[in-house]
Structure 1
């Protein structure tokens, strides 16, 4: 056992074929990946798993991993964040991530615990869908972004969103949490 996770062995990543530690959390991530490919119609190379994202709050910095960044025609169109337990408490940091993972606002943000999900409009933050079945399939997401302007996130806004995400994801996290890389 390392960090916070009981390692049950290894498993093969659905998207990359990479060998990963088999943890309960990783099993849920793999379930979500299978859902995206098998029911959502996405190609594995349209889904970027474990995207590293640098967060900063003043002079404190850390790198977190965004579970999935889904691309349509090369543009990040959806971010998906997994976390066990309550999903409502993860809405705000997921919106922050949708404003940081690229220089533009990603249109769809999904927060899930692997059993339930909330689909958020990236711009407004409003919940636009609930349940794993509401995660947009490729055809739906393609239609949604067809005329989406992918507005730039102003630097001041990005700095604030980085602070928000840092507070939720890094502040108060146990020092032995190996899913966060503190650069302090």
Structure 2
């Protein structure tokens, strides 16, 4: 009698040309699912999927330099999540400090969330940053994104003392709308 256990065919791999379409679909779906109250439905509905896919295609095929990478999480042959990472130079004010890395984006399709894909993507991103000599990783969290804050906290990241404001466009009153992002970091 043969014993076996069913395991999902899940993996993380470098993104390849053609993945930009799935990445764009995942990014738009994840943002619309998680950020509509903060960013606004009209802003999210107005995003140009074609332009976003072109930017992801360039990031995959012609990254701006060493250490810039795009990874995808797969369930079987289907891309269900992605992350993008970049190097950070060592801080100028401390020449002895090790360089770090930034997680520019990490999204999982809403239907595939809470299946371990985000954790696999984060672990792979941190492994690559370490291979490149990073001792610190950071990322930005949109104000009000409690799910991402909880996820990062459970992975050892914590909020730092930095906030940036991003313009999202004009509101119905003609005023520029902004959202705040908070810096989170971890020693890796």
| TM-score clears 0.5 | no
Larger radius of gyration: 2
Higher strand share: 2
TM-score, structure 2 as length reference: 0.29
